[in-house]
Amino acid sequence: MKVKAGAPRAAAGVARVAAKKPAPRALELVPAILVKTREELVQRLALAATVAKRAQLDVMDGRFVPNTTVQPHDLVGLKPPLDLEVHLMVEDPLAAMNAIGKRAELFLVHVETVGQGTAVDGKANVAELRARATELGARFGLAINAKTPVSAVLPHLDVVDEVLVMTVEAGFGGQPLIPQTLDKVAALRKLRPALDIEVDGGIDERTVGDAAKAGANVVVAGSALFGKSDLASAAATLIGSAARARDGA
């Protein structure tokens, strides 16, 4: 059978299918809880549970960062009404993980505190920290400070569940977002389309869109939530702004 010139030739080859981009990761808002007492912690957790499925608890030891917050012992007997990701801004993350135990759904450890040897040498390495998180029934992620190059986390991307990019200097709330930190988010998203990438610091209705466009799918907000009289409305505004910016609406 002759085929007319220019006619489709189904038998001659396979139709080309345009390569599809992977679906973007679902956006998630995580309330940040930076408090100094157990009483404040309980109050903030109750509020966070009204607008989110998980909250970020900042644990600071006054050494890795020049500030202190609630400590691991403050979590003893605590029954959070939502999942907890614990952001460990401490010099000894392994000790903090052991003290917190099975109360965390996700441990976020700063790459700057990770050792190159083993815990026996003084600082646990990524493999040891990851293994301990798994033993405690938690996911494991790495956090990276605003001034730390993204190259610091690249060797570990295959063993983490999430990467947290600090978009301010770690240690204090209420700081403005540092725009250059979003370049690290974009670089990570290009390398790992399916990775959960979290941003923390200076996130509000004006900056959340830039973070989402850069590739962040998990956004941490403290002042932009708890500083508002209507928490639900503030949460909806943040997620809506992020979605519109990411989707180009």
| 3-class secondary-structure state, position 110 | strand
Helices of type H across 164-228: 182-191, 208-214, 223-226
Catalytic residue among 61, 74, 200, 204: 200
What phi, psi does 70 have (nearest 5°)? -55, 150
Q: Where do the DSSP E strands lie in 67-161? A: 83-89, 106-110, 139-144
Catalytic residue among 58, 61, 92, 196: 58
Whether 92 is a known active-site residue: answer no
The Cα–Cα gap between 116 and 133 comes to 18
Whether 204 is a known active-site residue: answer no
- Burial letters for 82-113: b for 16+ Cβ neighbours within 10 Å, e otherwise? bbbbbbbbbbbbbebbeebeebbbbbbbbbbb
Name 163's bridge partners. 142, 197
Q: Which two tokens stand for residue 201?
A: 């610091």
Q: Which two tokens stand for residue 159?
A: 């063993």
How many other C-beta atoms are found inside a 10 Å radius of the C-beta of residue 174?
A: 12
The Cα–Cα gap between 199 and 30 comes to 10
The answer to whether residues 109 and 91 touch, using CB atoms and an 8 Å cutoff, is no
Helices (H) and strands (E) in the chain, counts: 7, 8
Place of tokens 């000894």: 92
The Cα–Cα gap between 138 and 84 comes to 10
Tell me which residues are annotated as active site: 58, 200
